[in-house]
Structure 1
Amino acid sequence: MRVGVAGKGGSGKTTIAATMARHLARSGFSVNALDGDPNPNLAIAVGVPPDEADRFRRIPPEEMEERPNGDGASMHFRQPFEKIVSEYGAVGPDGVRVLTMTGLLGAGKGCICGQHSTVRGVVAGLGEERPDDVTILDTEASLEHLSRGTVRHVESLVVVVEPYYRAMETMKRTVPLARELGIPQIWAIANKVRSAEDSAAIRDYCERLDIELLATVPFDDAVVVADRNRRSLIDHDPTAAATVAIMGAADRIGGHRSSVGA
């Protein structure tokens, strides 16, 4: 199963994606965590040491190839996936395989359009070659991954939304684009919720958009402290209210995967 995590910048996508990846791995799933943000932070949030994460390299398009099949063509890796992980990323805590997919080429060096194609190919290739894995793609803080079809090959999209108007407006713009791409399952996770009013506002917005609210994650200082100390949330405080709520969301995703197959 391939899951994209989207939302407004600063909504908490990376923390949620990383914590779900760790918890699903602890629950027995084979997990890949892909950082699709050109300002990558997922590896540290998963628990990869910062000095090791700094050595990650983005996967070049030459590592992917199209091969003919009965339906036309499908994407595949040119070498074993484990070798790609060792060359470009790392195996993190609990066996989570972490890869950085995009990165800026330098100031004034132009767009990263081609990298979106590589991300799309890697996600498609994992579906072809490792269909039993759970792959979590942490997307960039914009709608470009939807307009360019970068998340075209995910089966589920989780939209992280804060209880603020601009964050909910971002969700409103995200959902129809995801539906245009034909993504079968769209969920929302309410994050940084401080009150019943916050929760009700997001729930009402989800009902209007006809999407399911997967979990409500409370505002939690443990998230701030973990980030400040460059630690994964699940390692910093596995019993924190935010950690427990995110793990609950991951359990629902894992249960959904089991009910529909890989």
Structure 2
Amino acid sequence: MKIAFVGKGGSGKTTLSSLFIRHLAETGAPVVAVDADINQHLGAALGLDEEACAALPAMGARLPLIKDYLRGDNPRIASAETMIKTTPPGTGSRLLRVAEDNPVFDACARPVRLDDGTVRLMVTGPFTEADLGVACYHSKVGAVELCLNHLVDGPDEYVVVDMTAGSDSFASGLFTRFDMTFLVAEPTRKGVSVYRQYKEYARDFGVSLRVVGNKVRDEDDLEFLRAEVGDDLLVTVGHSDWVRSMEKGRASRFEHLEAGNRTSLERLRIAADDSYHRRDWERYTRQMVHFHLKNAESWGNAKTGADLAAQVDPGFVLGEREAAGQAA
């Protein structure tokens, strides 16, 4: 299943996504972690040092390889150069599975050993000096969207994406690619402002959105969040000595995380699992096509010199059957 962590900058979404990834790894589940934030901190939150973080391969820099592999022998896609971030799969496209080995993971993912398991970590790559004034960060996040469009994930398989702060993900259809979106909100007016934006933008797309209250200190903080977000509030997380030590580079084993915070992480997993079991593959594919056609008309056709609407395979629905056919 695909899970996003979003929220205002400084809300703690990277910390919480890293804790959730550790929690999943502890269960032995296959996990792909993706850092799609403009500020790349997920690797460090998972315990990598600066040198290891700097050596992580950037997905954005490997976009030609990603496109060429995913295109496969799809006759509707003339070349990798005509693929854009929203290009949907069709008959002949190659699909990705969470637990498999493939050229995309070989090029873009690196194993990260945690206390009780190993996860694959992928990063979009930082916004570099060469990008200043000439590039948009969404061009890097586009590699994530393209991979998610071609990913067939099953139960008890997890892709956890630490998204860019605020509501920037609404610049594409990326926000519809997740079974569950956890919005991390502090108990302040600014803390819940992103929630209101997300709730409004996602209203018409069936996005499963739950709020994780972070930095909650007392009953007054809790009541504030309840009043502001209502039933969307799933769990709250308070102060953690374990997290404070981790941020200083002195974390103990994950099993020593406070019992209350471990319970909150398990409630996140249960909510995500429940949302996955209600996934509608036809709607998922239909939304993918919807945003592809919008992007094609807005800028894609002009950029590639091709009619990108012709890439849509009208009889194709992404799902387990297609993945099984590819494996065969």
Do the two structures share a fold, i.e. TM-score over 0.5?
A: yes
For the pair 1:216 / 2:236, whether they are aligned, the reply is yes
Q: Secondary structure at the match of 2:262?
A: helix
Separation in structure 2 between the aligned mates of residue 110 and residue 258 of structure 1, nearest angstrom: 35
Q: For residue 73 of structure 1, give the secondary structure of its aligned residue in structure 2.
A: coil
**Secondary structure of residue in 1 paired with 2:173:** coil
CA drift of 1:257 comes to 5.5
User: Which structure: larger Rg?
Assistant: 2
Q: Please provide the CA RMSD for this pair.
A: 2.9
Structure 2 unaligned runs (5+)? 77-87, 280-319, 321-328
d(CA) in 1 for partners of 2:173, 2:266: 29
Q: How big is the shift at 1:68?
A: 6.9
Q: Is 2:123 aligned against 1:100?
A: yes
The SS at the match of 1:40 is: coil
Q: Could you list the per-position Cα deviations for residues 79-121 of structure 1 after superposition, in whole angstroms to 9, with x for gaps in the alignment?
A: 9755433433311121211110242131444322322321111
TM-aligned CA distance change 1:177 to 1:204, over 3 Å: same
* Number of the residue aligned with 1:5: 5
Q: Aligned with 1:178: secondary structure? A: helix
Deviations 1:29-74 (A, max 9, x none): 21111000121111121233442222012112221334479xx735
**TM-score normalised per structure 1:** 0.83
Aligned partners of 1:218 and 1:241 also within 8 Å: no
Residue 197, structure 1, aligned to residue 220, structure 2? yes
Verify the 8 A CA contact 1:16 1:246 in the aligned structure 2: no
Shift of 1:148: 2.2
Q: How does 1:47-66 map to 2 (within 5 A)?
A: 47-59=47-59, 60-62=62-64, 63-64=66-67, 65-66=70-71
Is the contact between residue 4 and residue 157 of structure 1 (CA under 8 Å) also seen in structure 2? yes
Distance 2:75 2:228 in 1: 43
Match of 2:179 among 155, 159, 164: 155
CA distance in 1, matches of 2:45, 2:213: 19
**Distance in structure 1 (CA, Å) of the matches to 2:198 and 2:272:** 23
Q: Is the 8 A contact 2:242 2:257 kept in 1?
A: no
- Equivalent residue in structure 2 for 1:239, among 257, 260, 264: 257
Q: Aligned match of 2:270 in 241, 246, 252? A: 252
Q: Which of 149, 157, 178 is 2:202 aligned to?
A: 178
**Counterparts in 2 of 1:240 and 1:27: CA distance versus 1, 3 Å:** same
The equivalent position to 1:73 in structure 2, one of 78, 89, 96, is: 89
Does the 8 Å contact 2:14/2:162 carry over to 1? Answer: yes
CA shift in 2, pair 1:13/1:245, >3 Å? farther
Matched letter for residue 147 of structure 1: A
- Which runs of no fewer than 5 residues in structure 1 stay unpaired? none
For the 8 Å contact 2:179–2:272, the answer to whether it is kept is no
Distance 1:17 1:193, change over 3 A: same
User: Is the 2:242–2:256 contact (alpha carbons within 8 Å) kept by the matching residues of 1?
Assistant: no
- Distance in 1, matches of 2:163 and 2:218, equals 28
Q: In structure 1, what is the Cα distance between the partners aligned to 2:30 and 2:125?
A: 23
Of residues 244-253 and 116-125 in structure 1, the stretch that sits farther from structure 2 once superposed is 244-253
* Partners of 1:163 and 1:255 in 2: CA distance: 26
* TM-score, length basis structure 2: 0.68
- Which of 203, 226, 229 is the aligned partner of 1:206? 229
Q: Higher strand share goes to which structure?
A: 1
Correspondence 1:119 to 2:144: yes
Contact 1:24 1:250 in 2 (8 A): no
C-alpha distance in 1 between matches for 2:228 and 2:47: 33
Number of residue pairs the alignment of both structures matches:
252
